[in-house]
Amino acid sequence: MKNLVLTIFSLFALSTAAQAQFLTGGVKAGVGSSSVSVRDVTSNPAEYANKESVTSYHAGAFARINILGLFVQPEAVFTQTGGRLESNPNATLANRVADIKFNRLDVPIMAGISLGNVVRLQAGPVASTLLSARQDGQSIKSFMESSDWGYQAGIGLDIQRLTVDVRYERISRNYEDPANQSNYDLANKQILLSVGLKLF
């Protein structure tokens, strides 16, 4: 009888551990180095040749499904990002620096391989919804697509309940201003560093 109770208890403990290993989740936050570049400018691409990086911020939640050394990790992340562009639209005036800021709700869906339950190699698409977009304090959201796709790729570490990730991200959006005959793509690129805490 004693052995039966121990066996049942052991099976229950193994089942619980397996479930915990199969599904994990928690919260994350971090900073990044963000830049904005212009592609396919209809007038003069050289007008926007120079760019400068700014600090970006992000925070959100994640869930991770682990299967035989592979994993899928969907996330929901609020991101504040942007960049600086140096422009000279008239070619005869002094250069002007444009500050561009985005607030976004991003849903990365990462997939990859886990090495020894410590190191993660990962990549995946990002569904991005634009919440606000401003240039020098003025809203430009109406000129831009509200949703688009991008991608992330990088490496992560799991140290007990702590997670650390370094990723590269790129998301592009079309910008169209018919009144000024402007039509081009704004590409937002980031190097992201995030720290997370597993809650289950």
Token pair 């800021």 in the structure block, residue: 101
Supply φ then ψ for residue 44, to 5 degrees: -145, 100
**What is the model's pLDDT at position 150?**
96
**What is the model's pLDDT at position 9?**
45
SS3 21: helix
Give the C-alpha separation, 45 to 40, whole Å: 7
pTM of the model: 0.81
**What is the model's pLDDT at position 86?**
78
Give the residue among 137, 131, 195, 193 at the shortest CA–CA distance from 168.
193
For the chain, the structural domain boundaries read 23-198
Assigned fold of 23-198: Porin (2.40.160)
Consecutive sets of 10 residues in the chain, 200 residues long: mean pLDDT of each? 45 43 93 87 60 93 95 98 78 70 97 95 97 91 89 97 98 77 82 97
Beta strands in 40-181 (DSSP E): 50-52, 54-67, 70-87, 96-115, 119-135, 138-139, 147-159, 162-177
Q: CA 107 from chain center: how many Å?
A: 8
Q: CA 39 from chain center: how many Å?
A: 21
